[in-house]
């Protein structure tokens, strides 16, 4: 069995993050209740990172394993803040 290349792994990570994060929520829903870190700004930042990587992958760039790990760690940190703010 062949391991997926890093492009396929990054595409899979982007899809997984998009499925797990509440990008679809309106600002009014994101900014109510608990606020232990600005969920709105974190989601916007993460969305920009994902869009940037999507464009780079579509242009044929091959990410390094460290770049995949960095995006995964960033996504995990944002997810933890969203959990504390009861959005996921």
d(CA 39, CA 5): 32
In a domain, 69, yes or no: yes
Tokens of 37: 């870190």
> Does position 42 have pLDDT exceeding 70, yes or no?
yes
Q: Looking at residue 88, what is its pLDDT?
A: 83
Indicate the number of domains in the chain: 1
Q: By residue range, what is the domain housing residue 61?
A: 37-88
54-62 mean pLDDT: 95
In a domain, 52, yes or no: yes
13-42 mean pLDDT: 87
d(CA 80, CA 43): 12
In a domain, 15, yes or no: no
> Does position 1 have pLDDT exceeding 80, yes or no?
no
Tokens of 13: 């990570």
Please choose, from the candidates 78, 84, 10, the residue with its C-alpha nearest in 3D space to the C-alpha of residue 44: 78
d(CA 62, CA 40): 30
Tokens of 83: 């959990």
In a domain, 11, yes or no: no
């Amino acid at each position: 069995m062949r391991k997926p290349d890093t492009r396929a792994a990054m595409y899979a990570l982007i899809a997984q993050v998009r499925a797990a994060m509440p990008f679809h929520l309106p600002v009014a829903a994101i900014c109510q209740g608990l606020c232990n870190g600005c969920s709105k700004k974190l989601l916007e930042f993460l969305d920009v990172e994902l869009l940037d990587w999507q464009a780079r992958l579509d242009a044929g760039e091959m990410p390094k394993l460290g770049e995949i790990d960095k995006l995964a760690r960033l996504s995990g940190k944002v997810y933890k803040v969203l959990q504390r703010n009861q959005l996921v």
